Amino acid sequence: MGEKVKVAIIGSGNIGTDLMIKVLRHSEVLEMGALVGIDPESDGLRRAHRLGVATTHEGIDGLQSLPVWRDIGIVFDATSAGAHRKHSAVVTGAGKTMIDLTPAAIGPYVIPVVNDGEHLDAPNVNLVTCGGQATIPIVAAISAIATVHYAEIVASISSKSAGPGTRANIDEFTETTARAIETVGGAAEGKAIIILNPAEPPMLMRDTVFILSSGCGEAEIETAVEEMVERVRAYVPGYRLKQKVQFERFGSNNPQQIPGLGRFEGIKTSVFLEVEGAAHYLPAFAGNLDIMTSAGLRTAERIASRRIQKGLA
36: nearest Cα among 67, 6, 62: 62
Contact pick of 191, 231, 240, 280 for other proteins (by CB under 8 A): 191
DSSP 159: G
Burial of 257: CB neighbours in 10 Å, binned 0-12, 13-18, 19+: exposed
167 forms part of the interface with other proteins (CB under 8 A): yes
SS3 state at 179:
helix
Q: What does 261-299 look like in DSSP terms, one character per residue?
A: TEEE-EEEEEEEEEE----SSS-TT-HHHHHHHHHHHHH
Catalytic annotation present for 130? yes
Residue 251 interacting with other proteins (CB under 8 A): no
Q: Total number of residues binding other proteins (CB under 8 A)?
A: 29
> Alpha carbon of 209 to those of 146, 224, 274: distances in Å?
16, 14, 11
- The verdict on 258 binding other proteins (CB under 8 A) reads yes
User: Of the residues 15, 21, 35, 130, which is catalytic?
Assistant: 130
Out of 257, 262, 309, 312, name the contact with other proteins by CB under 8 A: 257
Nearer to other proteins, 231 or 268 (CB): 268
Among 195, 237, 242, 244, indicate the residue that binds other proteins (CB under 8 A). 195
Query: Phi then psi for 249, rounded to 5 degrees?
Result: -100, 140
Kindly state whether residue 243 participates in binding other proteins, applying the rule CB under 8 A.
no
Q: Which is nearer to other proteins, 244 or 263 (CB)?
A: 263
Residue 134: what are its φ and ψ, rounded to 5°?
-80, -30
Phi, psi of 35 (to 5 degrees): -110, 130
Compute the least distance from the CB of residue 126 to other proteins, in Å: 19
The amino acid at 135: T
Q: How far is the CB of 200 from other proteins (least distance, A)?
A: 10
CA dihedral 150, 151, 152, 155 (to 10 degrees): -170
Indicate the pairing of strand 97-100 with strand 72-77.
parallel
E strand or H helix at 190: strand 190-197
Q: Whole-angstrom Cα distance, residue 15 to residue 280?
A: 11
The answer to whether residue 219 forms part of the interface with other proteins (CB under 8 A) is: no
Closest contact distance (angstroms) between CB of 252 and other proteins is 13
Which 4-23 residues touch other proteins, going by CB under 8 A? none
CB nearer other proteins, residue 71 or residue 248? 248
Task: Give the binding range for other proteins (CB under 8 A) out of 20-28, 64-72, 84-92, 166-174.
Answer: 166-174
Min dist CB 273 to other proteins, Å, is 14
Interface with other proteins includes 274 (CB under 8 A)? Answer: no
Where do contacts with other proteins occur on this chain (CB under 8 A)?
A: 152, 154, 159, 164, 167-171, 173-175, 191, 193-196, 198, 208, 210, 212, 254, 256-260, 268, 270
Q: Could you list the active site residues?
A: 130
